[in-house]
């Protein structure tokens, strides 16, 4: 297949998939609200149902994961220059990002336990 034809179809496919994701998201969100109304919940109960889903520590978690990602990237690039091996960057990015997710969840869990008491 001609690379020029493939290059034309890539943005079209990306646009269609993105649109499909948005349509699916809004469809299921409205479907969820309809099911709550059918169960007999009033507007105040539905509003409180959606307010409970908010995570007040979301930005804190994203910050910890971003810092860990940056550390993994930096250390990977340094080790790649030092050892001339190309596998350090992806390895350390995945390792430190995973560590960042674990540390973020542990720290947030401790903060939530402290706020409950």
Question: Distance of CA 83 to CAs 14, 80, 87, 89, 91, Å?
Answer: 38, 5, 10, 12, 14
pTM above 0.75, yes or no: no
Model confidence at 115, pLDDT cuts 50, 70, 90, reads: confident
HEC string for 50-67: HHCCCCCCHHHHHHHHHH
Give the model confidence (pLDDT) of 48-75 as tens digits: 777 766 778 889 999 999 999 999 999 9
User: Where are the domains positioned within the chain?
Assistant: 3-51, 58-116
């Amino acid at each position: 297949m001609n690379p020029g034809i493939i290059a034309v179809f890539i943005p079209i496919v990306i646009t269609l998939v993105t649109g499909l994701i948005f349509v699916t998201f809004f469809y299921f969100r409205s479907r969820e609200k309809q099911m709550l109304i059918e169960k007999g919940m009033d507007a105040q109960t539905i509003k409180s149902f959606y307010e409970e889903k908010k995570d007040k520590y979301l930005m804190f978690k994203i910050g910890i994961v971003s810092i860990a990602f940056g550390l993994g990237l930096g250390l990977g690039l340094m080790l790649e220059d030092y050892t001339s091996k190309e596998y350090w960057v992806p390895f350390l990015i995945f390792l430190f990002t995973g560590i960042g997710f674990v540390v973020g969840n542990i720290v947030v869990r401790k903060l939530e336990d402290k706020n409950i008491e």
